[in-house]
Amino acid sequence: MRLRVQGVLPASQPSALRDGTKMRRITANVYMTLDGRGAFPKYPGSDRETKTANALFRHMWIARYGDVTTVVMGRRSFLGHRRVWSSKARKPSDPKFTHDYSRYLDNVDKVCLSHRLKSPGWENSRILQGDLSKIVAKLQREDGGNIMIEGGPRLVQEVLRRRLADDYWFFIMPVVYGKGPRYWGSMTEQNTLKLLEVKHGEDGELLLHYAAVR
Ligand SMILES: NC(=O)c1ccc[n+]([C@@H]2O[C@H](COP(=O)([O-])OP(=O)(O)OC[C@H]3O[C@@H](n4cnc5c(N)ncnc54)[C@H](OP(=O)(O)O)[C@@H]3O)[C@@H](O)[C@H]2O)c1
């Protein structure tokens, strides 16, 4: 099924402002289990080794290499990505698409949010801290393409609570997990989104693409 909602820009385009200038569009990725936990559990097919990227990975990442020029992460997710996804972590025998993804992440402007981390230890990275709304506004004023907020759950929950993203990708894994960081514990008010698109993964995952309603 593919739905298009009139008046909502595709994720790959910057938002146009009334004065004709372009605003960097912000997408937040929300990886969660059916019970709203931000974890990556194993389930049938989840650790299958493939030579090529699956359709959901192509959609969420490969299709966006050209337009997303800044990736924002909380400290824990940043360190996790650095450990698992920087080119230094790649083995020659890894599939080509993982080398491509690692190269993309090495090269992209990365923002790690942290009070504790003193040095990012990953090229093209900077550490920012403070009020999240101000940080996002500062990034939007900078030159560049679109901005991806790539977890973790605490950061994404704050983005949702403050309504900072233009659109959201919910990557939902077919597991009721009962552990891992909660996404929804501290939501205090309704946040209504507009469904743009639904995609099915090979192993029961769902990718739900929503636009913010402003
Ligand atoms: N895409 C993903 O990365 C993803 C998705 C799903 C699940 N997960 C899993 O979720 C876990 C981590 O998630 P998490 O939610 O606990 O951590 P997180 O969001 O990655 O990082 C939280 C940390 O980010 C820093 N931070 C956030 N906002 C800040 C701000 N405005 N100013 C300064 N620092 C700020 C703080 O670090 P300081 O303590 O340094 O101040 C905070 O402790 C990992 O186990 C990971 O595997 C990750």
pLDDT value, residue 184: 84
Listed range (42-51, 117-126, 162-171) with the worst mean pLDDT: 42-51
pTM assigned to the model: 0.91
CA proximity to 214, closest of 13, 15, 1, 68 = 15
Where in 77-163 does DSSP place strands (E)? 109-113, 125-128, 146-149
Is the distance from the beta carbon of residue 77 to the nearest atom of ligand 1 less than 6 Å?
Answer: yes
Q: Count of CB atoms within 10 A of residue 98's CB?
A: 19
Q: Whose CA is nearest to atom 1 of ligand 1?
A: 151
**Closest C-alpha to ligand 1, atom 13:** 152
What is the structure's pLDDT at 189?
86
Ligand 1 pocket: which of 29, 35, 85, 113 to mutate (most atoms <8 Å of CB)? 113
Name which residue leads in pLDDT, 15 or 148: 148
Rg, Å, the chain Cα set: 17
Domain boundaries, the chain: 26-40+51-212
Query: Which segment of 10-14, 87-91, 203-207 scores lowest on mean pLDDT?
Result: 10-14
Tell me, in angstroms, the distance from the centre of ligand 1 to residue 105's CA.
17
β strands within 44-200, DSSP E = 68-74, 109-113, 125-128, 146-149, 167-173, 193-200
Q: Which of 163, 172, 207 shows the shortest CA–CA distance to 37?
A: 172
The mean pLDDT of the chain is: 90
| N- to C-terminal Cα separation, the chain | 25
Q: Does domain 26-40+51-212 have CATH number 3.40.430.10?
A: yes
Q: Which residue from 154, 171, 186 has its CB within 8 A of the most atoms of ligand 1, so it is best to mutate? A: 154
